[in-house]
Amino acid sequence: MTKDEKIYRLLNSYGQVFSGAIGEVYTIAFGEAPTDIDDLHKRLRDIDNLRDSMLSRGLLTSQPGEFPGVFFKISELGQEIIDNGGWLNQVARESKNSSEAQTRDRLEFENLQLQNSSLKAELEKKGQKEEMDKLTIENLKLQNRNSGLGFLIIGGLIGFVLGNLKWILELLGLIKSGE
């Protein structure tokens, strides 16, 4: 029998008798008398462990009186747990809640990792965009230089032709020279 199953039985027994010595309630819960001295010592250790566990969880309270720490009664929390299906159901609910909390924590962690990856990608994309903008500006500057040189050459040729139009036409024989 597991510790939780023993707590379940003890808690239910306290719920029936409301108060008593832990050893008496243990006998009520498990219905067996010790068979020998070793069995008695084993049960006393088991009783001490269960009592400490139940006290630390707030399931029992010590009754004041002549023998403090000997007589106990079920606490409000212990009674509430009995009313809500017993200790084993409480353990199952806590396990489920713990599992849900672990799943929620894992999902939150994964979400943070995804947000971090997204931010890194966005920053990398921004850096690439800035690099592309710089390269585009440099390309436009180079194109403007090449265009300026082309216009200079074309303008020079047009100026030469217009300035020497008469001589070119005479050279081509389209007009006669005026000598």
CA distance 75 to 138: 81
Domain covering 3-85: architecture: Orthogonal Bundle (1.10)
* Residue appearing with tokens 């050459």: 153
Task: Measure the CA–CA gap between 155 and 158, rounded to whole angstroms.
Answer: 5
Say what the pLDDT of residue 172 is. 83
Say what the pLDDT of residue 168 is. 83
Query: Quick one: pLDDT at residue 15?
Result: 62
In the chain, what are the domain boundaries?
A: 3-85
Query: Which residue(s) pair with 61 in the sheet?
Result: 73
Question: Which regions of the chain are under pLDDT 70?
Answer: 1, 7-34, 40, 63-71, 145-148, 178-179
Neighbours of 82 (CB within 10 A): 20
**pLDDT for position 11:** 67
